[in-house]
Structure 1
Amino acid sequence: MDASTMTTEASRPRTHGVVDTRGLLCPYPFIQAKLALESLPHGTTVEILTDSEATATSSIPILAERNGYTFTVTERGGVWRLLVTKP
């Protein structure tokens, strides 16, 4: 393993799991994400995958902000990846 690989691996957040809600219709992506976040241990991150723009850009960010979680959202090919960390 070279130094660039180690840096890349070290920069990745440690996730406590993946919640894949692709293909689910509203409100199920939000419900599954909410349940995962409620059970998330403090200081850990969960990865949420969704193909619902409303879930990725509104529902989950609002939930995260109201609960003091930090999050990032990226989109690629119609799939949003949210990394949400519980403080």
Structure 2
Amino acid sequence: MNLQPHPVDQRLPFGLLAVLGFQHVLVMYSACIVVPLILGSVLHLPKEQLAVIINADLMAAGLASLVQSLGLGIFGMRMPVMMGVTFTA
């Protein structure tokens, strides 16, 4: 009987985890910045208002990502996912 975990379930080395985590943060950050910038330019919003919208977007995406990753009672899938804005609508 083989008691070693499946390769999918094995923990990656710390260096690789750090690089992949940094990549995840960059993708999340850029996605959370681009949508408010485009919408703000179309709506001709002043820079101060655009800064508030970007900050609110980053805060909401960060909180939602934490709830999804860590779980909060019955909420969250407890998997490393990124929540943020989308162009789908």
More helix by share: 2
TM-score normalized by the length of structure 2: 0.30
Task: Specify the structure having the higher radius of gyration (Cα).
Answer: 2
Higher RCO by CA contacts (8 Å cutoff, separation 6 or greater): 1
